[in-house]
Amino acid sequence: MAEATSTANPPKKLGRLYCKAVFTGYKRGLRNQHENTALLKIDGVGSKSETPFYYGKRCAYVYKAKRKTACPGHDKASRIRVIWGKITRSHGNSGAVRAKFRKNLPSTAMGKRIRVMLYPSQI
C-alpha cells in the first residue's frame, strides 16, 4: 500500500465535525425572557429521548466582525469570532435543548447556525 517513492500524501480534506443547530431564542415565559440561557434546536433531534447524547457537549456561535482580532493557533488575525458554550439540558418534549454560553448570545444570532461539537465525548 505504501509507495516506494516518498511523495508526501496530499493533506486530507477535513469535513464537518460538529452538529448543526439553530439558536431559536432565549429561555422565556410569555412576557419575560432570560438571556443567560439559550434554546437550541439541533438538526435531526426530534424528541426528548434523543437529546441525552448532546448533554455537556460544547457549542459555539461563530460569526464575523469588521475588525480583525488575534485568533488562537493562527499567526494572522482574523475576522472570525466565537462565543463558546455548552448544552446543559433538554427543553420540552420535542428535542430542543438548553445551552449556556460564556457570554450571553446576541439577539442577532437568532435563527443563525450554532455548532454543536462532538466533545466532551461519552461514547
Partner 1 sequence: SRYYPTEDKPRKLRSRKTAFSKHKHSLRSSITPGTVLILVAGRHKGKRVVFLKQLDSGLLLVTGPFHLNGCPLRRINQIYTIATKTKLDISGVKLPERLNDKYFNRKQLKKPRHTEGEIFDTKKEVYTVSDERKEDQVAVDKQILDVIRKNKEKKLLFGYLGSMFSLGSRQYPHKMVF
Residues that bind partner 1 (CB under 8 A): 1-2, 9, 12-19, 43-45, 50-51, 53-54, 117-123
- Shortest Cβ 71–partner 1 spacing (Å): 16
Question: 87: which 3 cell numbers?
Answer: 448544552
One DSSP character per residue, 67-119 reads EEE--TT-SS-EEEEEEEEEEEEEETTTTEEEEEESSPPPGGGTTSEEEEES-
Residue number, 14 or 30, with CB nearest to partner 1 = 14
∠79-81-83 over CA atoms, to 5°? 170
- Shortest Cβ 2–partner 1 spacing (Å): 6
- Shortest Cβ 75–partner 1 spacing (Å): 12
Residue number, 32 or 121, with CB nearest to partner 1 = 121
Q: Which of 104, 21, 116, 100 is closest to 59 using CA atoms?
A: 116
Residue number, 23 or 54, with CB nearest to partner 1 = 54
